[in-house]
Amino acid sequence: MLPLLLASSSIYRRELLNRLHLPFICSSPNIDESHRPDESAAELVKRLAEEKARALAGSHPGHLIIGSDQVAALDGKIIGKPHTFENAREQLLAASGKRVSFLTGLAVLNSNTGHCQVDCIPFTVHMRTLDAARIERYLRIEQPYDCAGSFKAEGLGVSLFQSTEGPDATSLVGLPLIRLVDMLLAEGIQIP
């Protein structure tokens, strides 16, 4: 079995991958994550997931390298991580009562063979109608400034949802485990 490498410094992705009870190491790739002109959100996350995996292939021969990237889209526009309270408040006010689409790119690269499986997993969150006071209370408690869409679905952020839809709820946190298991099985990895 080839050793697994998660091409990420995200604690959220690391926690998700731990659920599979497989040994792995982490390394953070250094890539340009800029959005290219005329690139769709799905194309962007697939490209970045693969680039993250390929960026570590030279320094990690003989590994299966897992890359992932996620964007959120509101009203057809990509929204990123808010980084500040003010930006998060604006994102949540804009999302109030609307659908927020999350697209998560996933890549598994066999650095021995160069074979790379790449996919994009969609997930939609239907937000509750939120007032400014509720948003402020939420942000003061959770502080989701490093999360696309300004909420942590694995925490109190779920209280902001009316409903969700998609093939894999773990994709909302940033690493779609159901699809990842398919890719690992295709590479001969035995899942406990």
Collapsing DSSP states into helix, strand and coil, what is residue 38?
Answer: coil
Residue 15: name the closest of 187, 189, 158, 155 by CA: 155
Counting residues of the chain whose pLDDT is more than 70, the rounded percentage is 100
Distance CA 37, CA 160 (A): 32
Predicted confidence at residue 154, as pLDDT, reads: 86
Distance CA 33, CA 71 (A): 11
Predicted confidence at residue 104, as pLDDT, reads: 96
Distance CA 188, CA 157 (A): 36
Residue 192 has pLDDT above 90, yes or no: no
The lowest-confidence range among 31-35, 81-85, 136-140 is: 31-35
Domain formed by 4-186, architecture: Alpha-Beta Complex (3.90)
Q: Mean pLDDT over residues 166-184, rounded? A: 95
Q: Mean pLDDT over residues 123-133, rounded? A: 97
Distance CA 82, CA 94 (A): 13
What is the tens place of the pLDDT at every residue in 20-73?
Answer: 999 999 999 999 988 899 899 999 999 999 999 999 999 999 999 999 999 999
Distance CA 129, CA 103 (A): 23
Q: Is 69 a catalytic residue?
A: yes
Counting residues of the chain whose pLDDT is more than 90, the rounded percentage is 86
Task: Compute the mean pLDDT over every residue in the chain, rounded to the nearest whole number.
Answer: 95
Q: Which residues contact 153 (CB under 8 A, 6 or more apart)?
A: 125, 161, 169, 172, 173
Residue 153 has pLDDT above 90, yes or no: no
Per the listing, tokens 């509720």 go with: 134
Predicted confidence at residue 80, as pLDDT, reads: 84
Residue 13: name the closest of 171, 143, 185 by CA: 171
Residue 148 has pLDDT above 90, yes or no: no
Tell me the sheet residues that pair with 24: 4
Residue 7: name the closest of 63, 62, 79 by CA: 63
User: How many residues in the chain?
Assistant: 192
pTM for the complete prediction? 0.91
Residue tagged active-site, from 69, 119, 146, 168: 69
Residue 63: name the closest of 107, 21, 101 by CA: 107
Q: pLDDT band at 76, cuts 50/70/90?
A: confident
